[in-house]
Amino acid sequence: MNEYTTKMYSNIQVFYINDEEVARWYYNPDGTIKKDGKKINGIVRMYSEKGGLLSEITYKNNDLDGHYLLFSDNGFLEEEGSFKKNNLDGPFKQYNENGSLKIEGIYRNGKREGVFRLYYPSGILEEEENYKNGIIDGEVKNYTEDGKLESKSIYKKGKLLKIIYYDKQGNIKKEEKI
- 113-172 pLDDT, tens digit per residue, is 999 999 999 999 999 999 999 999 999 999 999 999 999 999 999 999 999 999 999 999
CATH number for region 95-178: 3.90.930.1
Per-residue pLDDT at 31 exceeds 90? no
Q: Rounded to whole angstroms, what are the CA distances from 21 to 11, 18, 33, 46, 64?
A: 17, 8, 18, 14, 19
> Beta-carbon neighbour count of residue 75 at 10 Å?
11
Dihedral sign for Cα 101, 106, 111, 112, please. Answer: negative
User: pLDDT tens across 92-104, in order?
Assistant: 999 999 899 999 9
According to CATH, where is 3.90.930.1 located in the chain? 95-178
Residue 163 has a pLDDT of 98
Pairing of strands 125-132, 114-119: antiparallel
Collect all residues with Cβ–Cβ distance below 8 Å to 133 and sequence separation of at least 6: 108, 111, 113
